[in-house]
Structure formats: structure tokens, C-alpha cells
A and B are shown apart, each in its own frame.
Chain A
Amino acid sequence: MKEFLSQLRGAIMSTVILAVVCCGIYPLVVDGLGHALFAEKADGSLIVDSKGVIRGSKLIGQNFTGARYFHPRPSAAGNGYDATSSGGSNLGPTSKKLADGIAQNVADYRSQNGLSTNTPVPADAVTASGSGLDPHISLQNAEMQAPRVAKERRLKEEEVRAFIVKYTDPPGLGFLGDAGVNVLRLNLALDGVN
């Protein structure tokens, strides 16, 4: 019994002390260091326009459907790009629902971008991302949308392509992961929002 009480004291006190250290001191130290060194990032890499209005986060995708804009990937997060309801479709390889959805997305993508009915479509353009908030599309996907956006905005295709290059995030350290075009930043830049 004495041994039990002694161990119980250890269990209770260690829970309390470790809670103070790991859940009190530790996150506050990280918070302090984070804000001292990378305040803008610690607060969500927000995009604020010249009027001071928050337009989004550089890291979180937003939905665009207008022909003047580059379109992001399909999203399974809530009603689409709902940042408080992240997630993928979670539909498996033999899901009819998934196959039907992809077939519809392929048809839409072809008709929106004036492609023939047998043009293969970039995989990222017709599949939902894991988070439903993917800020990027592949370079190829952006290139295939460029003529449409250029036409709608009465710009030269080269001008639009220059924007794409500017808002392409390269692979990490030059070799990690894949390059991606940040759709929100690209669209806002086309609209003249910095």
C-alpha cells in the first residue's frame, strides 16, 4: 500500500509537472521565438491588399470558377476550399462515385479550355487534393489554362506565362518535392492585388 501511494504520487505529480513544461513553457517559448523570427509566417502568411483587407493566406487555396481566373484543383473540403473542414474525397480506386466525378471534371476542363475531346488532362486538374486546400496546380495544368485566361483578359499569352513563372514555387532546395503554381497569388496578381 505504501509503495502504491508512493507510485501514485509519482504519477500525479509527474503529470502536473510535465504538463507545465511541455504544454505551458514549451509552446510559449516556441511562440516567442516564432514571432521574434518569423512573425508573418507564424500568423498564417496572410495576404493583405492595399486597402488593408485580408484576401487569404499564401498557403491556403481558394476556389475560382470565372473564366478570367486560373482554376484550382477540385476540392473535397466542405463545400470546396473550406479551411475549417479540410480533407480529401477518401474515395478508393474502384469507386464509381470517384470515376464519375473525374469523368465530369475531365469534360468540364476540356470544354472550359477549348481542348479536343481526346486531349489527356493533367492529373492534378481533375482530382481532389488530400487537404482540399492545395494552393498549387502543376505547371502543365497552368500552361493549359493560360490561353483561356489570356483571351478573357485581352493579354498576350506570353504575358500570362510570365505571371505563371513568377508565381511558381520551385522544389525545396532545388530537388525536394514538385514545383507548383500558387493559384491564389497568381490570380490576385493578375487582378493587380499585391
Chain B
Amino acid sequence: MSRPFDWLQLAVYVVLVALLTKPMGLYLCQVLEAKGKTWLDPILKPLERLTYWLMGVDSEKEQDWKLYTFAMLLFSLVSCLLTYAILRLQKHLPLNPQGFDSLTPDLSFNTAVSFTTNTNWQSYSGENTMSYLSQMLALVIHNFTSAAVGIALAAALVRGLARHSAKTLGNFWVDLVRVTYYLLVPVCVVFAVVLISQGMIQNFKPYTKAKLTEAYTIQVPKTDDKGQPVTTNVAVMAQAPKLDQKGQPVLTNGVAMMVDVPKLDEKGQPVMTNMPVMVDQKVEEQTIPQGPMASQVAIKMLGTNGGGYTNANAAYPFENPTPLSNFLQILSIFAIGSGLTYYLGRQTKNQAHGWSVWSAMMVLFLAGVFICWWAEARGNPIHQQLGVMAAGGNMEGKEVRFGILNSALFATITTDASCGAVNSMHDSFTALGGFVPLFNIQLGEIIIGGVGAGLYGMLVFVVLAVFIAGLMVGRTPEYLGKKIQSYDVKMSMLALLVLALSILGFAAWASVSKWGTDQLSNAGPHGLSEILYAYSSANGNNGSAFAGLNANTPWLNTTIGVAMLIGRFLMIVPIMGLAGSLAGKKISPPSAGTFPVSGFTFVILLLGTVLLVGALNFLPALTLGPVIEHFLTNQGKLY
């Protein structure tokens, strides 16, 4: 398969992201200003005023960092409870044409937390679990609001940088409402309609039955009149060495031959068990899912949520019908996050700083794409030995319409940002191809990043980089004219360490526990990668998965749910503390000893800080997972 246009696609993508950054940034400046003006004011201003009136919010009154954070936490709690309630009561609620049952408590907890924290980890398959109401209300509300919350927090941190001798950071309710009304909803209306034009579904019809051209037969458990499975009592078999007539084990090449024999209990009686009786069933129809998908997918991508309408997410042909829809989806993942770097520059009156942060992000982005793309295009030598054409690359878990580049590109982008949508199955990537998304998440998703979360995550690294630079030249570190003091560094370190501790702690616990290892679908180092990926994804609020891990168990649902809460809120609180501290500081004019936060040196220093922290925290674990697996693949070792 020749792919003459691969380089062109990548170039067009990078250029478009760059071109979008300024207009998006300027628009964000208006949206994130309580008195900002947009061209949507004539339609939306009355709605905005009505909303504040119903909420009892004075839009002119700003909040200090504690109240701002408290309001955010309270809102997250209330909206999370709403989702939990809907999922638990799904069976009794309307818009459920397929009659799906209510969700279990642990799955409801996991899912409600997952969507509240902008993670969108999914232990369920959407198309056979969620009613239209659950999708459209319980989940979509968080797709909007968790994105708006992220952007609001980033804005609060930027205000903390831009203001001086100030007590307040803005009003959380105003930011939440304005971001949703003026940015997310309008863009999504247009985006969703464009997605429908590509073939994405949007309706409220029950699932469609299509007549198959070739019927086929499957084996299904037999059920009685009451719908209960029919079982039969059979002997449990166990493996034992085969013996010859003299009672000696039969050897082949020195290894004992094994045969199945009935397992006996202590009394010498055969152990019996109930096995379901299987019967043939002729399949003559294909059931095709329907539902309000486009409206959900538009915000899932733009808000870097990533929670799929269906299990296969953006690999499902309805959820990503064409290469064009794919291109627009990856563009939308980066659109807001990229614009926020411009917003940073504009607000702090140092546009070069904004672009320098953006450049550092894009360097890391391109590095990831190249490694992942190369690894996937190279393919799997084990499979090529078996007769698979090398030119095709590694197509396991990938769709033909996207091919290698667009699968690798999507995987890199979705983990650079905290999106977590997937258009190919990361679990089936080559070892190094799968290393890239995993490491991206572990770096903290600061490469453009989740909407808002990416910027505030990256700014923590900026504070650290400035601090390290200050140590190296022996001066008090300054960032944008503000002295970085011990409190600020402590808060920054807290945000980073909580993440590493939680990822590695949970992953270590699960990988030595039966409740963790029992749910793996791959053995060897790949099994560790599955667990490591799960907790990285949860803590990083990404939501993508090495999906072979069967996560829908009470243990995994609960631990992953807790990891998501830690990854979101235990990171936000110190960052808001940092924002509050920075806002109160005076700005001193730049002097000869001030470290410039723009230009080549700064970008290199920032990159160094990011990679060093990421590498120190996670390389030991990664070595036992994807790195060793790469060498084992080359040797042809199978598990």
C-alpha cells in the first residue's frame, strides 16, 4: 500500500492547528471576560442573564481562589450525583427503546466519576448498555460541563498570572456559563451537522434490523420457558500425565504427554459441575444501532472528553464514517487547547511566551507522532514471518479507511490531549507504538492537553522550569515578573507527585492482586502494560484504554473511579492554591537577571523539565512493559 499523501496530511494538520490558534485565542479572550463581546450576544445574552437570575448569581462579583474552587467542587458533586441517579434508575426512565437494564452501583459510580472528571473511561459498551436518555443527558451534560470547568480553571490560573496584588480570580459560575453558551454549544451545533453530512447517525429511532445476505449459525446457551439457562451436569476434567500399560508416563521428546481425566474429590468421586447446554441458532439479521450520536460526538471531541457512544468509539463506522470526519475530529481535539496558549500570551501581555509554550507542546507532539507512526508502519515481525505483507504495517485493531498514519496520529493526539477517544485499538499496537500513547498520558497530558487541563498542567511545568533555571543561576526565580517562592513550588510539586504516586501505586497494587490480573486478556509484559495504561488513563483523566483489560468488575471500577477523582481534584486544588498565591504577588520589572520565558532556551528548558520528570517517574515501570516487549517481539517470543 503506497501512501503518497501521508506527509501532506500531517503537514496540513500542523498548519491548520497553528492557524486556528490565534482566532480561537482571541475568541477565548472575549468568552472568558465577564463583559466580553461576541457576535452571538444578540441571541445568547438574554439567555445568559436569565441563567444568572435563576442561579442567583451576581455576575459582577468575583471570587477568591478558595471560593472559586469550592464552587467548582460543589458543581462537580451535584452534577455527578445527577448522573449516578440516572444510571441507577435507567430501567424506569424514558427514551430507552431497547429496554436496557439499570447499571450496577460500581459501574454507575465509575461512569459518573469518569464523565464528571472529563476522563470518560468506559467500563461498559455504549451500544448495549446505555439508553438514549443516559447517553444524551447523564453523559452529555458532563461532556459540556467538565470541558467548561477545565477551561474555567485554566482561565483562573492565567488570571492569577496576569493580575498583581489581587485577591480574586474571576467568578466560577460566570466562566462555566459563558464557556458553555458562547463557545461549546455553538461550535458543536455546526460540527455535529458536518459530522452527519459524513454519515454519522442522529435520531431517536429504535435499532434497525437488516436482513443478512448470508445467514450463519452460532451456538447460544439454551434457555427454558422462563428464560433461565438450561444446564447439564458434567464431570470436571483435569490434566494428568498419560501412562502406558506398565504405569510409566509416556514421554515425547522427554516431556510427559498429558491427557484429560475426570477430576476426583477427596472421596474418589468425580467432581461434577453445571455446564450450560448450547444450541444452534440461525442468525439472519444484523441489528444496527441508532440514536443521538452526532450531537454527543461533537462535544466528545471538542471538549476532549472522548467517551464513545459505542464500545469501539471513533473506530465504529457510524462514529467516524470517513477520513474527512476523522481529520475534523482530531483537529477539534486540539482546537481549544491550542487557542488557550494564545489566550495565555494575550492575558499576560507576553505573546512570545504563549507561542513558546505552544512550540514546546508541538515538538513533543511531533516526536510522539513520528515514533508511533514508524512503529506501526514497520508492523509486527512475528506476523510478517507468518506470511503477512510487510508493506501493510500493523493493521490489527485498525480500520482500512484510516490506515496506519491516521491511526497513529489519532492515538498520539488523543493522549497528548486528555481526550481518550480512539479510532484504533491501542492494545493491539506494536510495543513501541503503544508506548507513545502511554507515555503521553504519563507526562500529564500537557501536549496541548485536555481543554484547560492541558494548559494548567503545562504551567506547573513552566513554574518548575523557571525554578530550576533560578537554581542554576543562583537567583530568586521569577515568572512573568513574579517571585516564585517555596509555597508556589510546593503546590506545583504536589500536583505532579500526586499523579505519579496514584498511577504507580494503583498499578503496582493491581498487578500483584488477583482482582487485577484475572481481568487481563494478554499475558507477559503486555499484561502489565494493560494495567499500567488503565491507571495512567484514569489518573490522567484520559479515558482511552488497552481495552483487553476487562474493567467492569467491582474492584476495578472502584479503584479506577478513585484514581480518576485523585487525578482530577487532587491536582486542581494545589493548582488553584498556586493561582491564588500568584494573583496576590507584586510584579517587579524585568532586570538583567530575569530568566526570559520565551525563545529557544526557554523551550529547551521546558522540554527538559517535562521529559525529566516523566522519565524519572515512569521509565522503570515502562521498561517492564512496552520496552521489554519490543525486544521480545523482535525475538519472536509469544505469550
A121 sits at the interface (CB 8 A): yes
* A30 and B629 within 8 A (CB): no
Give a binary string over A68-101; 1 marks a CB under 8 Å from any B CB, 0 the rest.
0100010001011111111111111111101100
CB of B55 within 8 Å of the partner chain: yes
Chain A residue nearest to B325 in the complex (CB): A172
Confirm or deny: A147 has a beta carbon within 8 angstroms of a beta carbon on chain B: no
Which of A3, A8, A69, A87 has the largest count of B CB atoms less than 10 A from its CB? A87
Contact A89 B212 (CB under 8 A): no
Query: A123 contacts B394, CB within 8 Å?
Result: yes
Q: Which residues does chain A contribute within 8 Å of B392, judged by CB atoms?
A: 122-124, 138
Is residue B182 contacting chain A, with contact meaning CB distance below 8 A?
Answer: no
| CB–CB A92/B522 < 8 A | yes
A130 to B386, Cβ gap below 8 A? no
Residues of B within 8 A of A11 (CB): 71, 74-75, 77-79
Interface pair A129/B185, CB less than 8 Å apart: no
CA distance A69 to B212 in the complex (A): 13
Are B312 and A12 in contact, CB atoms less than 8 angstroms apart?
no
Closest to A46 in B: B208
Residue A160 interfacial (CB < 8 Å): no
- Asked if B295 CB lies within 8 Å of chain A CBs, one says yes
On chain A, the residues within 8 Å of B389 by CB distance are 120-123, 140
| Chain B residues whose CB sits within 8 angstroms of the CB of A124 once the complex forms | 392, 395, 400
Restricting to B354-383, which residues have a CB under 8 Å from any CB of A?
379-380, 382-383
- Complex formed: what's the CA distance from A121 to B318 in Å? 28
Pair A18/B141 contact, Cβ less than 8 Å: yes
**Does B633 sit at the interface, judged by CB under 8 A?**
yes
CB <8 Å contact, A130 and B315: yes
Q: Which of B156-164, B263-271, B418-426, B579-587 contacts A (4 or more CB under 8 A)?
A: B418-426
Contacts of B150-201 to chain A: CB distance below 8 A: 173, 176-177, 180-181, 184-185, 188-189, 192-193, 196-201
Q: Does A155 contact B (CB under 8 A)?
A: no
Known: A130-B423, A175-B5. A14 touches B176 (CB 8 A): yes
Chain B residue at minimal CB-CB distance from A129: B399
Whether A62 touches B212, Cβ cut-off 8 Å, given contacts A122-B389, A127-B395, A130-B399, is: yes
Q: Cα distance A191–B305 when bound, in Å? A: 43
State whether A15 touches B283 (Cβ < 8 A). Answer: no
Contacting pair B208 A102 (CB below 8 A): no
**Interface: B204 (CB within 8 A):** yes
CA–CA, A188 and B176, complex, Å? 51
Task: Tell me whether B388 and A126 are in contact (CB under 8 A).
Answer: yes
Q: Which of B31-39, B285-293, B437-445, B598-606 contacts A (4 or more CB under 8 A)?
A: B285-293
Contacts of A46 in B (CB 8 A): 208, 210, 288
* A26 and B189 within 8 A (CB): yes
Whether a CB of chain A sits under 8 angstroms from the CB of B51 is yes
The docked-state distance in angstroms from the alpha carbon of A180 to that of B189 is 30
Q: Given A60-B288, A91-B548, A177-B326, do A73 and B400 touch, yes or no (CB 8 Å)?
A: yes
Q: Is B324 an interface residue (CB 8 A)?
A: yes
Most interface-central of B310, B316, B326 (chain A CB within 10 A): B316
Interface presence of B353 (CB below 8 A):
no
- Distance (whole angstroms) from the CB of B338 to the closest CB of chain A: 20
Beyond A22-B140, A30-B193, A91-B548, is A129–B380 a contact (Cβ under 8 Å)?
no
- Check if B210 sits within 8 Å of A55, measured CB to CB: yes
Bound Cα distance A112, B374 (Å): 32
A153 within 8 A of B: no
Which A residue's beta carbon lies closest to that of B550? Answer: A90
B93 to chain A, nearest CB (A): 13
- Alpha-carbon gap, A32 to B224, bound state (A): 45
What's the minimum C-beta distance from A60 to chain B, rounded to whole angstroms? 6
B3, B56, B70, B286 interface centre (most CB from chain A within 10 Å) = B286
> Which interface residue of B74, B128, B397 has the most chain A CB atoms within 10 A?
B397
Contacts of A177 in B (CB 8 A): 322-324, 326-327, 401-403, 406
Q: Is the CB of A69 within 8 A of B400?
A: no
Determine whether A65 belongs to the interface, using a CB cutoff of 8 Å to chain B: yes
Are B548 and A31 within 8 A (Cβ)? no
Are the CB atoms of B388 and A31 closer together than 8 Å? no
Asked if A136 and B196 sit within 8 Å, CB to CB, the answer is: no
B-side contacts of A55, CB under 8 Å: 210-211, 213
Task: Kindly state the separation between the CA atoms of A157 and B271 in the bound complex, as whole angstroms.
Answer: 60
The reply to whether A41 and B399 form a contact with Cβ atoms under 8 Å apart is no
- Do residues A99 and B125 form an inter-chain contact, with CB atoms below 8 A? no
Number of A-B contacts (CB under 8 A): 416
In the complex, how many angstroms separate the beta carbon of B457 from the nearest chain A beta carbon?
25
**B203 near A136 (CB under 8 angstroms)?**
no
Residue in B47, B127, B203 whose CB lies within 8 Å of A86? B127
Chain B residue, CB-CB nearest to A3: B67
Tell whether A53 is near chain B: CB-to-CB under 8 Å: yes
* Nearest CB of chain B from residue A2's CB, rounded to whole Å: 12
Q: Mark B17-55, 1 if CB is under 8 A from A, else 0.
A: 000000000000000000000000000000100010011
Q: Do A134 and B399 have beta carbons less than 8 Å apart?
A: yes
Could you mark each residue 153-194 of chain A with 1 if its beta carbon is under 8 Å from any beta carbon of chain B, else 0? 000000000000000010111111110100000011001000
Partner of B74, one of A8, A169, A175: A8
Q: A172 to B327, Cβ gap below 8 A? A: yes
Given contacts A86-B127, A178-B401, contact A29 B74 (CB under 8 A): no
Q: Quick check: is A106 within 8 A (CB to CB) of the other chain?
A: yes
A54 touches B211 (CB 8 A): yes
Q: For window 191-242 of chain B, which residues contact chain A by CB distance below 8 Å?
A: 192-193, 196-205, 207-214, 216, 218
B28 CB to closest chain A CB (Å) equals 19
Given contacts A21-B180, A88-B315, A177-B323, contact A31 B204 (CB under 8 A): yes
Instruction: State whether A27 and B136 are in contact (beta carbons under 8 Å apart), knowing that A129-B400, A131-B312, A136-B401 are contacts in the complex.
Output: yes
Residues of B close to A62: CB separation below 8 A: 210, 212-214, 286
Q: For the complex, is B9 an interface residue (Cβ under 8 Å from A)?
A: yes
Report if B137 contacts A (CB, 8 A). Answer: yes
Q: Is the Cβ of A129 less than 8 Å from the Cβ of B193?
A: no
Cβ contact within 8 Å between B136 and A91: no
Interface string of A107-136 (1 = CB under 8 A from B): 000100000001111111011111111111
Residue pair A92, B629 in contact (C-beta under 8 Å): yes
Chain A contacts of B431 at CB under 8 A?
92-94
CB distance from B198 to the nearest CB of A (A): 8
Task: Decide if A102 touches B546 in the complex (CB within 8 Å).
Answer: no
Task: Determine if A22 and B399 form an interchain contact, defined as CB atoms under 8 angstroms apart.
Answer: no
* Chain B residue at minimal CB-CB distance from A22: B144
Given A22-B140, A30-B294, A92-B522, A42–B213 Cβ distance below 8 Å? no
* A53: chain B residues within 8 A (beta carbon): 211
A13 touches B286 (CB 8 A): no
Q: Which residue of B lies closest to A139 (CB)?
A: B1
The residue in A60, A86, A87 that gathers the most chain B C-beta atoms within 10 A of its C-beta is A86
The smallest beta-carbon distance between B321 and chain A, in angstroms, is: 5
Whether the Cβ atoms of A14 and B55 lie closer than 8 Å is yes
Interface window among B103-111, B251-259, B489-497, B524-532: B524-532
Give 10 A-B contacts (CB < 8 Å), ordered by A residue: A7-B67, A14-B176, A18-B180, A30-B202, A34-B196, A85-B127, A130-B425, A140-B1, A140-B389, A172-B324
Question: Which 8 pairs from chain A and chain B are nearest by CB?
Answer: A177-B323, A123-B392, A130-B315, A172-B323, A178-B403, A90-B548, A88-B425, A86-B312
Known: A99-B383, A120-B387. 15 other contacts (CB 8 A): A8-B78, A19-B82, A31-B292, A57-B288, A59-B318, A80-B216, A81-B286, A86-B125, A87-B425, A88-B425, A93-B431, A94-B629, A106-B386, A123-B389, A191-B213
